[in-house]
Homo-oligomer: A and B are copies of this chain.
Amino acid sequence: MTPERLQTLWLHHEIDQRNAAYAAALDDKRYADWPEFFVPDGRYRVQARENFDRGLPLALMHFESQGMMKDRVHGITQTIYHGPYHMRHVVSPARVLEVAQEDGVEVVRAQANYAVFRTKPGSVSEVFNVGRYIDEWVRDAGILKLRSRLCVYDSELILNSLIYPI
């Protein structure tokens, strides 16, 4: 086994663990933990596939920094009036597409398919949002953090409105 292969195994392991921790934070409603998966100037977008495929910029959520994400979390937990629901993420093993050096920073480009199920009180669980994470990971004090996460979802029609991040 070459050192390169061991590095690859470890990197994939790290990414799958980070994806699982990210999912757990949202599913457990620990929303304050969510911005911590990003670097301070990290970017988070949720975009319909129709727009993504056509190169159109319109996105359902678009945050350009951890600060904007924290605002959103404040909105979710303190101010937005909405019917509550549970989320459950099932994320497949990630594909690592590239490990690149950019301006002295190592950037890992990875993608993973996800399915998010929603459960409203007193109701059955249903398919809520399925799509693909298109991610850029960088290291921050040794830990992989998102420089960018773009969630491209398949349905133009979101069941009611999307309140929580995906």
A: residues with CB less than 8 A from B are 1, 3, 5-10, 12-13, 16-17, 19-21, 23-24, 27, 49, 86, 88-95, 111-115, 117, 119, 121-127, 129-132, 154-157, 159
Known: A27-B113, A91-B93. 15 other contacts (CB 8 A): A9-B9, A9-B10, A12-B17, A19-B93, A20-B112, A24-B95, A49-B86, A88-B132, A89-B92, A90-B114, A115-B115, A117-B127, A117-B154, A119-B155, A125-B154
Taking CB as reference atom, which chain B residue is nearest A49?
Answer: B86
In the assembled complex, how far is the CB of residue A138 from the closest CB belonging to chain B, in whole angstroms? Answer: 20
In the assembled complex, how far is the CB of residue A127 from the closest CB belonging to chain B, in whole angstroms? Answer: 5
In the assembled complex, how far is the CB of residue A86 from the closest CB belonging to chain B, in whole angstroms? Answer: 4
For A90, what are the chain B residues with a Cβ–Cβ distance below 8 Å? 90-92, 113-115, 130
Residues of A contacting B: mostly: mixed
For A86, what are the chain B residues with a Cβ–Cβ distance below 8 Å? 49, 154
User: What are 18 A-to-B residue pairs whose CB atoms are below 8 Å?
Assistant: A1-B7, A6-B6, A8-B13, A12-B13, A17-B95, A23-B92, A23-B113, A24-B132, A27-B113, A88-B131, A89-B113, A90-B91, A90-B92, A90-B114, A91-B93, A117-B127, A121-B156, A122-B157
For A3, what are the chain B residues with a Cβ–Cβ distance below 8 Å? 1
Query: Is the Cβ of A132 less than 8 Å from the Cβ of B27?
Result: yes
For A16, what are the chain B residues with a Cβ–Cβ distance below 8 Å? 93
In the complex, A93→B131 CA distance in Å? 18
In the complex, A10→B16 CA distance in Å? 14
User: Which one of B19, B123, B157 contacts A155 once the chains associate, using CB atoms below 8 Å?
Assistant: B123
